[in-house]
Structure 1
């Protein structure tokens, strides 16, 4: 009924991408929808009217919603990672990470009713928005959100971006904090998106809240090796507009390169209720 949050592009052919997103039903539970778009002409080719994947049954780790991260391949299978929401009546909302199988026809299938990554000693409270990248050499990197506490002392949660590594894309070694946080400036992070390599260095965009009362903004960090990151919030290349659909907040970025041009899909006001946009990188 509402929202097109967390846009995730998968190339179909030529300049046409299938952009998956998280849309909400009358009970505010998110499922995965999709629209096919020519990103050069900005033409909508096809709106898929039925969900590609629906939230889980009561009691499942994704009973109250599915917020998608990104796709990667392992052992010849393409996977889509997601945050599964739980919103118990007598407790705080929380999330775990799940994994969908992306079939050859780009339909989606749940891999397991058990979370792909759940709470543990490194991530004891809640997990969110995973991003996986294949390294230049063998192995995989993952950056994802992890709640350290629900209130860092200023009424805002401390939700950090953590790092995990894997040799096969299936079993992960969690390494803890990846991107530094600053209480009162950048302390509630979500949905990292990363491009780059060990040769050129890595760039990351993410949404964040300062803890000083502002709504989401998109931030930026850089790293030489993908492990040690430096915040550079003002270098993200985008800000809220003056009075448009993204004038109050911008969040949930997804940066990708098409024909040597850098693009960003992102959401605006209302956590995606106002739609998603396509931004084009322009060198200063």
Structure 2
């Protein structure tokens, strides 16, 4: 689940989370052909980022959502730490792992979150997408402090927030809510994935809809903080049957030559697998 792609040597390395029989996710990778992503060239044999020790913020999952290349050898991998709770179902915060060998292996920067919970973002500070732009690190992430009762089930309410950092490690306690929920049938915006093209920020994100599950959304911004939703322009919905007929979520995009690939997960939050679409202009 949650594909995060990068181009390496004319191939696409996709960081993703693979869950065990208990639903615990660990970050691994696959490598696919950049010419034909259906062609899987390599599957990682062991996790790149494993869960933390019992009682830590990532003891029940460590799921990559963003990769930043600082130099030819150094990469920052931002991941969601999943922690089961008693009074609420779970808590999601953000950790950082670092590679000094171009992504062959990673070590956790520290055993605590780099996006720790705060008073206004109490339960969720997770799912970040981090870009280096204009001499700083820019981060769009999921934040929330509320649970709702929907269809006899407690579900989280969350939206997309924005933060900046000088070093990609130290972040503020409270971000700016840059994409708030504005429609009655929506209660969550998940996994933002932002690219900058021709001076325009483009965000691909997941919309949690009452009674329908996740759908994909799209928005544009000139400054990265004020966004205009253009969901219909994405023109991508669930299939009439099959692995992505109930839900599509956790999208990411990458350019290769004259193509733009959008990777995404399907039904049951990605349990049914990973697919891709070819985006037009």
CA distance in 2, matches of 1:114, 1:233: 35
**What is the Cα deviation at residue 141 of structure 1?**
1.0
CA distance in 2, matches of 1:170, 1:32: 20
Partner of 1:144: 141
CA distance in 2, matches of 1:234, 1:259: 25
Per mean C-alpha deviation after superposition, the further-off stretch among 92-101 and 48-57 is 48-57
CA distance in 2, matches of 1:10, 1:34: 11
C-alpha contact 1:96 1:117 (8 A) present in aligned 2? yes
Partner of 1:29: 24
Name structure 2 gaps, 5 residues minimum.
Answer: none
Q: CA RMSD in A?
A: 2.0
SS in 2 for 1:187: strand
Partner of 2:157: 158
**What is the Cα deviation at residue 176 of structure 1?**
2.1
**What is the Cα deviation at residue 233 of structure 1?**
2.2
**What is the Cα deviation at residue 161 of structure 1?**
0.3
* CA-to-aligned-CA distance 1:19-54 (integer Å, 9 cap, x gap): 111111122111112111103133111122322222
C-alpha contact 1:237 1:281 (8 A) present in aligned 2? no
CA distance in 2, matches of 1:273, 1:117: 27
1:38 counterpart (33, 38, 45): 33
CA distance in 1, matches of 2:233, 2:155: 24
**What is the Cα deviation at residue 58 of structure 1?**
1.1
Per mean C-alpha deviation after superposition, the further-off stretch among 146-155 and 78-87 is 146-155
Per mean C-alpha deviation after superposition, the further-off stretch among 45-54 and 25-34 is 45-54
1:19 counterpart (14, 22, 28): 14
1:84 counterpart (57, 61, 81): 81
**What is the Cα deviation at residue 80 of structure 1?**
0.6
**What is the Cα deviation at residue 11 of structure 1?**
2.2
**What is the Cα deviation at residue 218 of structure 1?**
0.5
C-alpha contact 1:74 1:168 (8 A) present in aligned 2? no
| Total equivalences in the alignment | 275
Partner of 2:181: 181
Partner of 2:201: 202
CA distance in 1, matches of 2:167, 2:61: 28
**What is the Cα deviation at residue 228 of structure 1?**
0.6
CA distance in 2, matches of 1:33, 1:196: 26
C-alpha contact 1:10 1:19 (8 A) present in aligned 2? yes
Alpha carbons of structure 1 residues 242 and 95: separation in structure 2 relative to 1, 3 Å: same
Name structure 1 gaps, 5 residues minimum.
Answer: none
**What is the Cα deviation at residue 88 of structure 1?**
2.5
CA distance in 1, matches of 2:258, 2:232: 24
Q: How does 1:1-284 map to 2 (within 5 A)?
A: 5-14=1-10, 16-41=11-36, 42-74=38-70, 77-106=74-103, 107-135=105-133, 137-151=134-148, 156-173=155-172, 174-196=174-196, 200-210=199-209, 212-283=210-281
**What is the Cα deviation at residue 102 of structure 1?**
2.4
C-alpha contact 1:158 1:188 (8 A) present in aligned 2? yes
